[in-house]
Structure 1
């Protein structure tokens, strides 16, 4: 599957803009609403965002570093890698999302949270939008990034963006379900 690099970046920018706008609406909620959990072992809205912030703390600097050290040789098309495509697609929201186990370091359950978590998420989404724009001048296939779970695996930049942004979308859907409870 080969896709237009600019179309992919446009799609990812649109999704990220929606995540940013949604996060801004969350600032209007009370901390009580944002800390509500549907059960003792489920995440609250702020815990979902903190989980995303922890991933963002790894991936945003990783993406930024690799874009800034890459040559300015954009390619018109992007072909996802086998592993990267699998990871990205596994994050896409589904009708009934499959449960996934998260790494202990990425699990914020029962942490003390306040609205600063939302501010951090908003800043990360703004940075992601900047990086997506910078990525227009790089090769989404040749530029590789490390992943958070192993130093042995690298993904194509296009797949890394897809994974991070689809992961954000997955948990925004989770937040919407929590708040609708």
Structure 2
């Protein structure tokens, strides 16, 4: 997660401009924003599968190596996401219960507020705004990519379980403070969109790190 230098960013972005560049045609177009809990759950499941596939294909050596001095390894990118996601769980645990019953139809799209639209757009790769990562969210102690991936997949399951708690609740009507900057407030629904975009951003960075290492060998 990064500090918000202007009212535009809420979660961390790539630390170096070259790490934020798209590496394939699929990264050149932002993913369409989810509108329902089912769609959002599918996005988080896909992110977990994508992380698993990266580690399986790259292996420990490439995932734990940094492509350049001052940049993150793939394992560090995933560990950063673990740390960042952990900052949301206590807030979700407390605030979801305060959301009343939803009056809209069961499968009706949720409303995304201003901050949800803006921050998910900024965070979705390719990078649009870059800023430094705040110290509490730096992956200082990373460990092996296997342990980091296991923790990441566990958190994805916790997110999905949290989404299940949201069913039937008006989570787009209740706002919460950003764990990065309490001046920024957005709906519970928007918080999930922001987390998903943030995960895709750094997963893309992890894939680029591995690609650079492969190209150098």
Q: Which runs of 5+ in 2 are unaligned?
A: 1-33, 213-217
Structure 2 residue matching 1:155: 3-state secondary structure = strand
The 5 A counterparts of 1:1-181 are: 7-28=35-56, 29-73=58-102, 75=104, 76-94=108-126, 98-108=129-139, 111-114=141-144, 115-181=146-212
More strand by share: 1
Shift of residue 176, structure 1, vs aligned partner: 1.2
Report Cα offsets for 1:25-50 as digits up to 9, x if no partner: 34535432221111111000111011
Q: How far off its partner does 1:117 sit?
A: 1.3
Say if 1:72 and 1:138, in contact at 8 Å, map to a contact too: yes
Unaligned regions of 5+ residues in structure 1, if any? 1-5
Alpha-carbon offset, residue 93 of structure 1: 1.3
- Write 1 or 2 for the structure with the bigger share of helix: 1
Q: How many residues align?
A: 174
Give distance in 2, aligned partners of 1:8 and 1:18: 15
Change in Cα spacing, 1:8 to 1:42, as seen in structure 2 (3 Å) is same
- In the superposition, the TM-score normalised over structure 2's length comes to 0.71
Q: Given the two structures, how large is their TM-score scaled by the length of structure 1? A: 0.84
With over 3 angstroms needed to count, the CA separation of the structure-2 counterparts of 1:171 and 1:57, relative to structure 1, is same
1:112 to 1:123, Cα distance in 2 relative to 1, 3 A: closer
Aligned match of 2:7: none
Provide runs of 4+ in structure 1 moved above 6 Å: none
Residues 84-103 of structure 1: per-residue CA shift (max 9 Å, x gap): 32112111112x65433211
